[in-house]
Structure 1
Amino acid sequence: MTPPIRAFLVTCYEVPGVAVRIGRRSAAMDALLARHGVRRAGFVTAWNPRSRRMPEGWNLRMQDRLRQAARGRVLAEGFGRGAGWAEHHLLLRGDPRRLRVLGRRFRQWAIVVVAAGRPARLVACLVACLAQPGRRPG
C-alpha cells in the first residue's frame, strides 16, 4: 500500500486560529510557536493508520493513547481537513525526529513539521512511504 501523497499536500492542518499547508509559511503559526516559546512542532495523529479508515471509536481511543504518549508536548488540538473528510491531530512541541517516532509508533505515513519562519513540510514516518522521483523520504 502506498500513501496518498496528494491528499497530504492538499490538506489544511488547523489548530484554533491557525491554518497550515505543506510548502507554505504561516505567520499565525510563527506567532503561536513564539507564544509557547518553541521553535519547532509537528502535527501528529493516530487516526486511520496507513490511511485505512477505522471506526470513530477506535480512532478516538488511539488519539487518547497518542496524547498520553506525548507526555506534556501538546501545544494544541486540531484537525487535518481535506475534501470531505477530517482527522483529529495534535500539534506537539519538539524535535521533528522525536515526533516522527510517535508518528511511526501510531503507524502514520507522515507528520507535518512546522518551524518558526519556515514553510511547513511533510516528513515520512514509514520506510519508503513518500518516495517521489527526485525526492528522498524525510
Structure 2
Amino acid sequence: MTSSSSIDPTTIRAYRETHFCVEGDMPFTLQIGQKSAALAALHRKSGVESSAFVTAWNPYSRQCDDETNAALQKQLVEELISRSLSFVNGVGRHPASEWTEASVLVLGISLEAAKRLGMHYEQNAIVWCGANAVPELVLLR
C-alpha cells in the first residue's frame, strides 16, 4: 500500500528490504509482500485475523540515542498493555546494514487503529498484516 508520500524514496526502499523479526516461542521473519505461513499460524493460534508490526524508535526517521529510543519503546509497550492489546516483541533489521529497531507485532489490531498508533509515535510507516498473512508496507506520511 503506497501512494504519494513525503517520505524519501530511499527510506521507503529500505523499509521494503527490512526483515521484520518476530521473537517469542516460535520466532519468524516477515518480509513485505511475502506470505508468511508462520504468521498465519500465529493469527490462528491467537484467534485474530490481523496484526501490525510497529515501533516507537527514531520518530520520522530522526536518529535518536539508545536511551531515548528505549524510553519511547517502553511508552509504546505500556500503552499496549494498558489497552489490553496482545503483542509479541520483535526487531526490524536491514539485511545490508547494522540498522535495527526494537518493535512489536500487535495481534488483533485493526488497520485504522494500527495507523493511529504509528502516527501517535511519529512513524513514517507500519507493517500491516491482514487475514492473508502477507505483510504490507503502509505509509503514514
Tell me the TM-score normalised to structure 1 length.
0.86
Question: What SS does the aligned partner of 2:39 have?
Answer: helix
Deviations 1:35-87 (A, max 9, x none): 11111000010000111110101001101111122222132000000021110
Shift in Å, 1:114: 1.0
The partner residue of 1:75 within 77, 82, 87 is 87
Would you say the 8 A contact 1:30–1:115 is kept in 2?
A: no
Q: Which amino acid aligns with 2:100?
A: A
Deviations 1:91-115 (A, max 9, x none): 1121011011010010000100112
Q: Which amino acid aligns with 2:41?
A: A
What does residue 129 of structure 1 align with?
none
The partner residue of 1:92 within 101, 106, 116 is 106
The partner residue of 2:44 within 18, 27, 34 is 34
Shift in Å, 1:8: 0.4
The partner residue of 2:120 within 105, 114, 118 is 105
Residue 7 in 1 paired to residue 14 in 2? yes
Would you say the 8 A contact 1:29–1:116 is kept in 2?
A: no
What does residue 20 of structure 1 align with?
30
Q: CA separation in 2, counterparts of 1:110 and 1:49?
A: 10
Shift in Å, 1:15: 0.9
What does residue 54 of structure 1 align with?
64
In the alignment, structure 1 segments of 5+ residues that lack a partner are 127-138
Shift in Å, 1:117: 2.5
Q: CA separation in 2, counterparts of 1:118 and 1:76?
A: 16
Q: CA separation in 1, counterparts of 2:114 and 2:78?
A: 14
Deviations 1:12-45 (A, max 9, x none): 0011211100111100111111111111000010
Q: Which amino acid aligns with 1:121?
A: E
Percentage identity across paired residues of the two chains = 33
Structure of greater relative contact order (alpha carbons < 8 Å, 6+ residues apart): 2
Shift in Å, 1:11: 0.1
Question: What SS does the aligned partner of 2:44 have?
Answer: helix
Question: What SS does the aligned partner of 1:98 have?
Answer: helix
Tell me the TM-score normalised to structure 2 length.
0.84
Return closer, same or farther for 1:95/1:106 CA change in 2, 3 Å cut-off.
same
